[in-house]
Amino acid sequence: MRRGLPGRSGRRITPSRLALRDLLGEALAGLLQRPARSMLTALGTVLGVGAFVAILGLTATASSQIDARFNLLTSTEVSVEDIGGQDAELVPLAFPADADARVEALHGVEAAGVYWTVTPPGGALTVRAAPVGDAAAGEQTQVVAASPGVLAAAHPHVRLGRTFDAYHDRTGSRVAVIGSALASRLGITTLDTQPAVFIGDVPFTVIGIVDDVQRKADLLLSVVVPRTTAERVWGPPTTPRAQMLISTRIGAAAQVAAEAPLALRPDHPEYFKAVPPPDPRTLRTGVTSDLNQLFLLLAAICLVIGAVGIANTTLVAVLERTGEIGLRRALGARGRHITAQFLTESAALGTLGGLIGTALGTLTVLTVAVTRQWTPVIPPLTVTLAPAIGLATGLLAGLYPAWRAARIQPAEALRR
């Protein structure tokens, strides 16, 4: 047993003790004296912890959606570039005439097509919806030569008409597919009159207007004409060289990228450079890391604000309860008892704020996920740590006020 300390009369004085039950009771009484102020004090921690849970949950949920969309679109897209190699000057177009059929015969390929941007020697082409020499102004618009497989791989949404097919490409028909924005600028609102556009001085009948594509969004800003027609009118591509767009089934992109050059030109596969999609895990990791760094900083700011609020309120409570502290010290309470009481109060406020913040953050993630029809993803570790973060915030915020309270001398406090 611990021995008491000697008093002036020579008798041993047993130091006062503060039982855990009494400590919790005193802390609860201190918090319930001003319940409204206690709740407002905990509000900062509620916001900080709620932001912490919501941010991590929304980041995980958004990352899973990014990964899913990436798998559905980007991970099923392969690009093949015509590099020509040492024979680039002798072979302006390395893709054979039946390039679409050769690649589409590969297992896992849904659609494939060759395309390039038309760049005639005279420079950019002017597209107008009126005959050459008419007063109407033209549009400096990109003209894309494409085989039918390009439009199939791009998955366009056709607002009016249709896209061209193998017949148009085989016969070199002068037909065109344009984007809805360009059609609006050219004043083309219907296809019933078989409108034509003049690319330079060559007329093309507009057979389709598209307003959306899943791949190659620049097609919406271009005039797309059959590949064979472009070769007859403007010749083979020069710079940039032709490319191939391939749409594959999920999981087949890497294999298709390895087989496509050999399928196109068994005699010269080095003429082509196949570009498979990047690893989706790398993209997801990068996106998640960037989002976490940005939003965790905001959550940390909220927690700091909450800690400052608890520290301020606890310090004010110390000043207001100076008389009470002095009386307790005079009755035998030791400095550590006062420190423990105020730390318990601030820790209780922090824990309460952490629990409420965790609930609100989880509810926010669920609400956003249900609204956007996503699958909510909340890391279990986040929900477990969130109340502990609130507790730690309360303890850190209460250190200085508790230290100040423990240093109050009984005689000085009673004189106030």
Residue 4 lies in a domain: no
> Which is more confidently placed, 228 or 139?
228
Domain endpoint, select from 207, 233, 267? 267
Q: How far is CA 367 from CA 143, 187, 271, 384, 387, in A?
A: 46, 44, 53, 20, 21
Q: Which of 73, 231, 152, 137 is nearest to 177 (CA)?
A: 152
pTM: 0.55
Give the residue numbers spanning the domain of 208.
Answer: 95-267
| Structure tokens, 211 | 């307003």
| Closest C-alpha among 96, 226, 77 to residue 166 | 226
Q: What is the pLDDT of residues 315-373, one digit of tens each?
A: 776 777 677 777 777 767 777 777 887 788 788 888 888 888 889 888 988 898 888 88
Give the residue, 163 or 46, on which the prediction is more confident. Answer: 163
Do 407 and 338 share a structural domain? yes
Q: How many domains does the chain have?
A: 2
Inside any domain, residue 156: yes
Identify whether 182 is part of a domain. yes
Are residues 47 and 115 located together in one domain of the fold? Answer: no
The pLDDT assigned to 18 comes to 58
Residues 38 and 126 in one domain: no
Looking at residue 165, its pLDDT comes to 94
Shared domain for 129 and 244, answered yes or no, is yes
Q: Does residue 253 sit within a domain?
A: yes
Are 106 and 134 contained in the same domain?
yes
Answer yes or no: do 195 and 234 share one domain. Answer: yes
Residue 38 inside a domain? The answer is yes
- Do 114 and 208 belong together in one domain? yes
Q: Which two tokens stand for residue 261?
A: 């050059």
The alpha-helical segments, DSSP class H, found in 321-379 are 322-330, 335-372
- Digit-coded pLDDT (tens) for 248-297: 988 788 899 999 999 999 999 999 999 887 665 555 566 566 666 766 67
Same domain membership, residue 292 and residue 263: no
Query: According to the model, what pLDDT value does residue 46 have?
Result: 80
Residue 252 lies inside a defined structural domain of this protein: yes
Same domain, 402 and 364: yes
- Please report whether residue 74 resides in a domain: no
Quick check: is 29 in a domain?
yes
